[in-house]
Amino acid sequence: MHQKTSRIPTHEQNCRKYTDARGNRLISNPIDPTPIDYCPTDCAQGRLPDRTPISIVDIGSNSVRLVVYEGLSRSPTVLFNEKVLCGLGRGIASTGRLDQKAVDCAIAALTRYRALSVQAGANKIHAIATAAAREAENGAEFIDRANKALGVDVHVLSGREEAYYAAMGVNCGFPDPDGISGDLGGGSLELVDIHGENFGSGITVPLGGLRLQEMSGGSVRKARKIARDILADIDFLEDGRKRTFYAVGGTWRSLARLHIAYTNHPLHVTHNYEMSATQTKKFCKLVIKSDLASIPGMETVSSNRRQLLPFGAVVLDELVARMRPKNIVISALGVREGYLYSLLDEQTRKLDPLVVACEELSRLRSRSPQHAYELAEWTGGAFETFAIDETPYEARLRVAACLLADIGWRAHPEYRGEQSLNIISNAAFIGVDHPGRAYLALANFYRHEGLRDAHLSPSIHQLANKRIAWRARVLGAMLRVAYQYSASMPGNTAQIKFSKFRRRRYTLDIPEELDVLLGERPGRRLKQLAKLLNVEIEVRVC
């Protein structure tokens, strides 16, 4: 049978239709139809030029998803994302087979995903399948059709592999994680003990949302008993006491999204969203016992996810009771990102994902990434001179904030602070919690707007404690000084430094060749910094 996908032009063919002999994009203006050179091979300036897109297709028990990433990176950036809730796992508990309508839905999606991957310029498709495909009687037949639809062989993960890649996803998204990860899919739950790069053997159990709903006949009360009995036999859950439980999977992300709306949390980002064990149990009971439509914020959850919320809440509630963790942290990264992470070399895996993401954004949006690196080093020396202690966590936030300090420069001056704050607080960063996002956002708001909070939403302060907020203000004040001497370009910042003169008296040492940059404006900003630190600072030309 002739494959429709054979008629789809490749990315290179598409590019050639709109490029000249040199590979430059040709754009016709409707007023002046003369083609003009636009950009080599249609690479937008908002894209990193050293990346080749890569596709991952995840065939789950509930959803079938395509994610095209900008490239293989320590901090993966999504170029295109689409999912279809086919429900492959629905009915397996009773029939042992994949439903034919669900199979047809999945094959149609996979055929589309192949074409989309070509269109996005992906050089390779990695395809994985989880519980439904590996357990169904007709799973092999479905995988054979899936292979043909995608044009690549689908890797059907074993239960241990699924648990391993979910744990790798947590490792990708959190620096040095310590706890137990749980990936709740439609057909199964994978649990792994994680301590940095060291994983336990992992286990998979039949507690996926769709399967639990079916096994219990739709009864939440019966579902609770099933979950409790299965989890009672998992001994290593006791090792998670007073540690973190990393919750992975769409149903638990939906629970977190609902909790964010229900509590009016100021930041609507699910990754690294944290709840205490007490908060979690209380909210799970609310979801289990209430009419879902009556819960404030339910509109934030897609209608297709809502029916599984009580069953996801049951599993989470029983896990918390069995494990007694310190807290529950939501991971937006799971099997797909874990698989991608496994493709990286060891040296790249050791990089800080937050710093990598901020470096990339600096390359894309700042006037000079090199200047951003200078600021990171310069502010580190300034913090040391003024004896402002930093934990390793705070030091990496300061470095990240410096890398982001100039990303708003193209905005109107009156809106640079606000725009930078919004971009940073809502960016798709990994490796940073919500208080850390507040530090990054506040530091850059103060860098543009000054040290007053007049135009700052009070909600941002809900995310940061006093220590974090004060250090962000100090960093913003230092950046305001530095930019007066650098004009946003590298070179000058490295030549000036703060020195301690005597008790509570400091100098800003400036080389003689830069004394022409002294003036009223930099002097005023230096006084603002001195007032904030409750010290005296004088300029000394060396």
Domain that holds residue 431: 353-541
d(C-alpha 139, C-alpha 154), whole Å: 12
438 domain residue, yes or no: yes
Q: So what's the pLDDT on residue 47?
A: 87
Spell out the per-residue pLDDT of the chain, length 542, in tens.
333 333 444 444 444 443 444 444 333 333 333 333 333 344 557 888 888 999 999 999 989 999 999 999 999 999 999 999 999 988 888 899 999 999 999 999 999 999 999 999 998 999 999 989 999 999 999 999 999 999 999 999 998 899 999 999 999 999 899 999 999 998 899 999 999 889 988 899 999 999 999 999 999 999 999 999 999 999 999 999 999 999 999 999 999 999 999 999 989 999 999 999 999 999 999 999 999 999 999 999 988 889 999 999 999 999 999 999 999 999 999 999 999 999 999 999 999 999 999 999 999 999 999 999 999 999 999 999 999 999 999 999 999 999 999 999 999 998 898 889 989 988 999 999 999 999 999 999 999 998 877 666 677 778 888 999 999 999 999 999 999 999 999 999 999 999 998 889 999 999 999 999 999 999 999 999 999 999 999 999 98
Enter the DSSP assignment of 185: -
| Cα torsion through 272, 278, 284, 289, rounded to 10 | -160
What CATH number did the domain enclosing 152 receive?
3.30.420.40
What CATH number did the domain enclosing 477 receive?
1.10.3210.10
Half-sphere exposure of 397 (CA within 13 A, CB side): 30
User: Coil, helix or strand for 411?
Assistant: coil
Enter the DSSP assignment of 127: E
Q: So what's the pLDDT on residue 454?
A: 62
* 184 and 137 both lie in a single domain: no
462 domain residue, yes or no: yes
141 domain residue, yes or no: yes
* 388 and 495 both lie in a single domain: yes
3 domain residue, yes or no: no
What CATH number did the domain enclosing 319 receive?
3.30.420.150
| pTM, to two decimals | 0.86
* 224 and 372 both lie in a single domain: no
Enter the DSSP assignment of 88: T
Q: Which burial class, exposed, middle or buried, applies to 264 when counting CB atoms under 10 A from its CB (0-12, 13-18, 19+)? A: exposed
Tokens of 26: 């040709």
What is the average pLDDT score of the chain? Answer: 89
Q: Are 275 and 220 in contact (CB under 8 A)?
A: no
143 domain residue, yes or no: yes
Q: So what's the pLDDT on residue 243?
A: 97
* 151 and 198 both lie in a single domain: no
* 325 and 375 both lie in a single domain: no
267 domain residue, yes or no: yes
Q: So what's the pLDDT on residue 296?
A: 94
d(C-alpha 328, C-alpha 181), whole Å: 10
The domain total for the chain is: 3
For 18-65, write each residue's pLDDT tens digit: 344 444 433 333 333 333 333 334 455 788 888 899 999 999 998 999
Q: So what's the pLDDT on residue 14?
A: 41
d(C-alpha 75, C-alpha 212), whole Å: 34
490 domain residue, yes or no: yes
Domain boundary, last residue among 292, 317, 342: 342
* 110 and 163 both lie in a single domain: no
Half-sphere exposure of 375 (CA within 13 A, CB side): 36
d(C-alpha 229, C-alpha 218), whole Å: 17
d(C-alpha 476, C-alpha 393), whole Å: 18
Q: So what's the pLDDT on residue 461?
A: 78
26 domain residue, yes or no: no
